[in-house]
A and B are shown apart, each in its own frame.
Chain A
Amino acid sequence: MADKEYDDIPGTFVFDADRSREGYNLNQFCISLRLQVNRDAFNADENAYLDAYPMTAEQREAVVKRDWNLLLELGGNIYYTAKFAANEGINFQNLAGKMTGMGVEAYREMMLNGGRPIDGNRTKSEWKED
């Protein structure tokens, strides 16, 4: 596949049609947890609940492990995974603390100090990533 112009933004997944296709069943599982009746069913028997969503073995493992970054790598989108996280008692800000690897406290502190600056965070070359 041709390179996409947004592929050199560091630490970011752009949820485009390709990711949407790959993540479809995973995201549909996540959004199902929006409703209490489904949250109850999932919390009562996780394995049986997941059987209804034909995701890949890798995606299912990422769900079981609550690996928030891997979920995104495998086609999850943050607005969907945040509904799964909410069921675990994790809000958007604490989820970001986890995904950035900073931890909740350091992340909150960074935000209070004006957030992550744009300088040094525009391109993968600035992060020495490719």
Chain B
Amino acid sequence: MARVTAGVGCSHVPAIGAAMDTGITQEPYWKPIFEGFKKSREWMKDQKPDVIFLVYNDHCTAFDASCIPTFALGCAAEFKPADEGWGPRPVPVVKNHQKLASHIAQSLILDEFDLTIMNEMEVDHGLTVPLSVMYGDVGQDEDWPALVIPLCVNVVQYPPPTGNRCYNLGKAVRRAIDTFDEDLNVMIFGTGGMSHQLQYKRAGLINKEWDTKFLDLMTKDPVAASQITHLEYLRETGSEGIEMVMWLIMRGALDEDVTEIYRHYHVPASNTAVGHIILENKV
């Protein structure tokens, strides 16, 4: 049977991808950010996931303002890196585990999560940057070491789904994966955040204390994290910090009791606090 072994929380700042793509990761500004992913890359090599269920948001790339699905599951065979306005990232095309994706789609809808199903989709930095930081440089002509099932969450137009809804969706994703009849090591990534505001006069807001508390809750008290209100995210973590609801989908798919393997936090990457956590299910 397929089994969920671990979850990864991770920021997906576009400038981090750009730093890798332009080979400046050893510059003093970027070095501490990438040092913090060294251990994670080794861990990925040890764990060798077959499939990554990757929760992220599209940043007005695949979806324009004409269609804004709250939850959209990628069911296509593959997903090309998109041109977001500065040319596509030079990273591999993302390949899906299509059978598992369609099993999850069916299972979630019967579990009363009314998904949008995407049979054509390009993916933006929200999806490719977490793969890059966790795997390191992978050439455009190579393959990502794992198959990837993308789940897009609307966090651009207010309101995003509540933290509670996301947490429960994570539980439903887990139920779906647990009933898939193929021996697969599945990891789940929740991406975005941490505190940041990209817009208007309060841009640059960072709340390290709040972020640290959130990371603590991810490990020890996900139910409390699931009850954080939208107003609290907006006020305390910046208008774009609300992306962190996506981490709750990841957390919901894990056991209640997890082992925190690793954590990394750094300010700044461009406008953003970079946060990262690795949680393993106990066997």
Contacts and interface: CB of A to CB of B under 8 A. Distances in A.
Contacts of A72: 199-200
Contacts of A91: 15, 270
A77 B240 CA distance: 11
A104 B267 CA distance: 17
B271 interface: yes
Contacts of A13: 199-200, 239
Interface stretch (B47-55, B153-161, B174-182): B153-161
A86 B85 contact: yes
Contacts of B240: 78
B201 A92 contact: no
A93 B60 CA distance: 18
A110 to B, nearest CB: 6
Given A79-B156, A116-B202, A27 B65 contact: yes
Given A6-B234, A31-B60, A24 B65 contact: yes
A36 B83 contact: yes
B90 interface: no
Nearest to A85: B85
A110 B65 contact: no
Contacts, number: 155
Residues of A in contact with B, size category: 35 or more
B200 A114 contact: no
Contact of B268 (A83, A115, A117): A115
B205 A96 contact: no
Contact of B236 (A77, A99, A122): A122
Contact of A31 (B65, B68, B210): B65
A122 B60 contact: no
A23 to B, nearest CB: 8
B198 A78 contact: yes
Contacts of B204: 96, 100, 107, 110-111, 115-116
B197 interface: yes
B234 A77 contact: no
Most chain B CB neighbours (cut-off 10 Å) among A5, A23, A34: A34
Given A34-B61, A111-B204, A12 B231 contact: no
B208 interface: yes
Contacts of A101: 201
Interface in A1-19: 5-6, 9-17
Given A86-B86, A122-B236, A28 B205 contact: no
A63 interface: no
A114 B269 CA distance: 10
A100 B201 contact: yes
B41 interface: no
A121 interface: yes
Interface in A93-130: 93, 95-96, 99-101, 107, 110-112, 114-118, 121-123
B81 to A, nearest CB: 13
A13 to B, nearest CB: 6
Interface string B150-171: 0000001111000000000000
**Which A-B residue pairs are the 3 nearest by beta carbons?**
A115-B206, A11-B201, A11-B202
Interface of B: 14-15, 29, 59-61, 64-66, 68, 82-87, 156-159, 195, 197-210, 230-231, 234-236, 238-240, 267-268, 270-271, 273
Interface of A: 5-6, 9-17, 20, 23-24, 27-28, 31, 33-36, 39, 69, 72, 77-80, 82-83, 86-87, 91-93, 95-96, 99-101, 107, 110-112, 114-118, 121-123
14 contacts: A6-B231, A9-B202, A11-B201, A12-B202, A15-B239, A20-B68, A24-B65, A34-B61, A80-B65, A86-B84, A96-B199, A100-B200, A111-B270, A114-B267
